[in-house]
Chains A and B, each alone.
Chain A
Amino acid sequence: MEASKETNILVIGYGNPARRDDGIGNYVTERLSSEEINVNVISLQELGPELCEDISGYELVFFVDASINQSEDFIIREIIPRYKTPIFSHHISPEMLLAITKELYGLCPKSYLVSIKGYNFDFGFDITKEAKRNSEEAIKKIKEICMSWQLQKK
C-alpha cells in the first residue's frame, strides 16, 4: 500500500501481519485508506532509511506500531529526531528515521508515534478482537488530530 493522494499528512503502519497483533499498524493504514480522510498511507513490515525521502515531503507524519509493553490501550505521543544505534541492523526507530531525514533533507515533519497494545503475536493473519478495538480507538484519535491540523492550516 503506497502513498498517492495530494496531502501533507502521511500515516506509516508497520509490523508483520503474519504474526497476528503485530499487524496492527497495517490494519490501521488499511482502515484509514478506506475512510474519507485526506491522508496518504504506507504499510511496511519495518522501517528503513529510504523512507526518509518519503517523509521529507510531508508536514505531519504518524508512525503506527503494535506494542506489548504498555498498559494503555493505545498511546499517541509526539516524537522528535533522536540518534540511536539500532539494536538490529535492518530496523530503525521512528526517531532515528526523523534524525536521518533532518540531517539529509534539512527538515523534519511534526510526528507522532501511535503505539497500540497487542495481545497475541503468534503465527496467524487475524488480529485479536481486543487489538482491533484498541486500533479503532486509535484511528478516531488520529482522525481528530488530522482534522485539527487541517483546520489550523486553513
Chain B
Amino acid sequence: MTQKITIQPVTRIEGHARITIYINDDGKVDKAYFHVDQFRGFEKFSEGRMYYEMPIITPRICGICPVSHHLASAKACDAIISADIPRPAKLLREFMHMGQVIQSHSMHFFELAGPDLIFGWDADPKIRNVVGIIEANPELALKAVKLRKFGQEIIAKLAGRRIHPNYAVPGGVNNTLSLKDRDELLKEIDTMISYIQEGISLAKDWIEKNKETVEEFGVFSTGYMGLVTEDGGLELYDGKVKLIDKDGNLLELFDGSSYLDYIGEHVEDWSYLKFPFYKKLGWPDGVYRVGPLARLNVAEKIDTPLAQEEFKNFKSINGGKPVEGSLYYHYARLIEDLFAAERAKELLLDPDILSDDILVTTDKILPEGVGVIEAPRGTLIHHYWVDNKGTIVKANLIVATGHNNWAMSKGVEEVAKRYIDGKNITEGMLNRVEGLIRCYDPCLSCSTHAVGKMPMVIDIVSSSTGEVIGSVKRD
C-alpha cells in the first residue's frame, strides 16, 4: 500500500506550493512531486493592453523581483519599436538590475538559506529562522538588512520607489542619476562588498564542514542555461543565451529573440507551472537548470576581480565540469552577489551613468518583441505580439522558476528518497525536502500565469487507498 505525505506550503519560498511524497509499506519513498498551486493569469491579463503599459503592469507579477520583470518587459518593448537605446540608458538599467540582484541574493542567503546552514537541518524550527539568526548573530543580521536596503536604495534612487518601478520605458529610461545620488551610493559600495565577502566565507566554511551532505544532497545531471557576454563571461542584463549539456559541452548559443526555436514547454496535470526543455533533445532529455548555479556553470569567467577569484574556486569543485549539487546554488548565489556589487561600482564610476542621453524614440511598431534578462532566480523571457496600433494580442512569459520546475521536482524526489524514513518521519527530514526547494529560491507567485492551460488537478491520490497518512502545514 502506498501512503502519502503532503507538505503544504513549503516554508520560506514565495507563493503557494505543495510537495507530495508517496511512501510504500516498507517505509521507503516511492516517488515525490513538487506541485505549484498558485494560479496567476498575467499573460491573459496583458491582452488588450498597449505595449508601453507592460513595463508598468508586469512588475506586479511579483513583489520580490519586480525590477527583473520591469526590465525584461522594457527590452521587449524596445524590440517592438526597434529602438537601439543609448549607452547611458543601458548602464542605468543594468545598474538598477544590480540593485535588484544585490537585494534579492543577499536576502535569500542571510535570511532564507542561512537558518538551515547556521543551525542545521535538525534544529528546532522555533530558532531555525531569521529571528534565530538575529539572536545568534545580530551583527550578521544587521549587515544582511543593510545589504538588502542598499539594493533597494539603488532602485529607489533611480525610480523614486523601492518596488514596482516606473523607470525603464520603451527606448530607454525616464530619469537620470544625479551626481549627489551617485556619490552617496558610491560611498557605501565597498562596505557592501565586504559584507558579501563575509557571507561567502560563511558559506565556504559551511560547505567545508558539510562536504558529505553537499556532495549527496539533490545531486543530479541536467543541462544548464544562462546569458553570457560576447567573450563568455557571466552576464545578468544582456548578452546571448548559452545552453550546455550535463558535461559542459556547448549545445547552443543564441539570441534571446529566437528562444522559441530552442525551448519547448511541457505540461503535466499535477502542476500549474509549465516545464521548459531544450527542443532538440526533447522532453524529458532536454531538461536544464537556470539561476546562479547554472549561470556559473555556463560562464567561462567573471569580469570583476573579486568575483573572478571566487569563480576560480567554484570551477575547481568539479574540475571545470558543471557543478551538479543543489546546495552549491547558495555558494553560486553569493558569488553573483559579489559580482553584482562590484559591477554596480564599475557602473557608478562610468561617466556615462550621469549622462542625460537616456531615451530614443521611433515611429515603428513591429509585430512582436522579445526581452530576455537574468532575473535573480534565472533566465526571464517576455515575449509580446502586438497589432499595428501596439495593442498586445498575445503574451508569453517564461519565468526563472518555470525553467527550474523539473529540477525542483527531481530534487525533491532525490532528497525524499535519501533522507525520509516513512516509519519514523521527523521534522528534520521534512525540512531537508523543503531545503532542497529553497536552494532554487523559487518565486512561485510569478510562475503560474497561464490561464486555461491546465486542468485543476493538484493532488495525486493513491489508486489503491487514497489515504493521506500525514499532512504538515505551516502557519
Contacts and interface: CB of A to CB of B under 8 A. Distances in A.
Interface of A: 1-2, 16-19, 43-46, 48-50, 52-53, 83, 85-92, 96, 99-100, 103-104, 123
B416 interface: no
B131 A88 contact: no
Interface stretch (B7-15, B221-229, B300-308, B313-321): B7-15
Nearest to A81: B131
A16 B156 contact: no
Interface in B430-475: 438, 441, 443, 474-475
Interface in B13-30: 13-16
B94 interface: no
Contacts of A100: 130-131, 134, 141, 145
Interface string B121-139: 0000110111100110010
Interface residues of B, number: 48
Contacts of B107: 48-49, 90
A104 B138 contact: yes
A89 B112 contact: yes
Contacts of A48: 107, 148, 152
A53 B149 CA distance: 9
A43 B159 CA distance: 14
A99 B11 contact: no
B37 to A, nearest CB: 12
A2 B156 contact: yes
Nearest to A105: B142
Interface stretch (B160-168, B186-194, B276-284): B160-168
Query: Which one of A45, A52, A88 has the greatest number of beta carbons of chain B within 10 Å?
Result: A88
9 contacts: A46-B63, A48-B152, A50-B152, A88-B13, A89-B12, A89-B14, A90-B443, A100-B131, A104-B145
10 closest A-B pairs by CB? A45-B63, A18-B60, A89-B12, A50-B149, A123-B45, A46-B63, A50-B148, A90-B14, A89-B13, A103-B134
Contacts of B45: 18, 123
Given A2-B161, A45-B163, A85-B11, A90 B64 contact: yes
Given A44-B63, A49-B130, A104-B134, A2 B9 contact: no
Given A83-B131, A104-B141, A88 B9 contact: yes
Given A83-B131, A91-B14, A50 B145 contact: yes
A65 B474 CA distance: 21
B199 interface: no
A146 to B, nearest CB: 23
Nearest to B451: A123
Nearest to B152: A50
A87 B145 contact: no
A99 B126 CA distance: 14
B162 A44 contact: yes
